[in-house]
Structure 1
Amino acid sequence: MPAAGARGAQASWPAPDASQRLASPLTPWDRRRLDLHAALTTAGIAPRPGDLAAIDALSVLDDTTHAVLTRWITAGR
């Protein structure tokens, strides 16, 4: 790592250890849930009490329905 007083130098971070990664990828439900959170956050919509249960319920829907829902949320950007 560069000296603390070095000008213009950037910190050098070690590469991630591949052996510490999760063994399995995200499930479709997890991916849709995270996508919904991202779409809502991008649209400036903060979750309210009870919204997490609704997001969980919507995440069960198929990918086509999820794509339409995400499009609706992000259409006003």
Structure 2
Amino acid sequence: MNAWQTDPYRLPGLRGLPHEEEADARLPPTPLSAPLPDPALRPAVPESADRRRLDLHACLTAAGIPPRAGDLHAIEVLTLVDDTTYAALRRWITGTS
């Protein structure tokens, strides 16, 4: 007895259900893979800025400084700095070396 077959005496509500092969035959075929998105339709903001924004929110919150609504513009500006400056900013917030 496989996973799809159940004892009808134990579970009487399952009587009359189709067998696995019959159920699969009634399902519409599914595509094997979805088409890839068009690179031209990607957002203009670089993906690293999005990652930095989330990371900055997490660092501030973990440090006990939840960002206020007025801080969102400052966070947006800070996500656009170069890697060295951003690393220093994170080091200052988290207090790590």
Q: TM-score range by the shorter chain?
A: 0.5 to 0.7
After TM superposition, the score normalised by the length of structure 1 is 0.61
**Pairing 1:42–2:65 present:** no
After TM superposition, the score normalised by the length of structure 2 is 0.49
Whose relative contact order is higher, 1 or 2, with alpha carbons under 8 Å and at least 6 apart?
A: 1
* 1:2-43 CA distance string (max 9 Å, x none): xxxxxxxxxxxxxxxxx79xx68x701111111111100110
Q: Which residue of 1 aligns with 2:86?
A: 66
Moved over 3 A (4+): none
Identical positions, percent: 60
Gaps of 5+ in 2: 1-32, 40-45
Gaps of 5+ in 1: 1-18
Cα RMSD after superposing both structures: 2.3
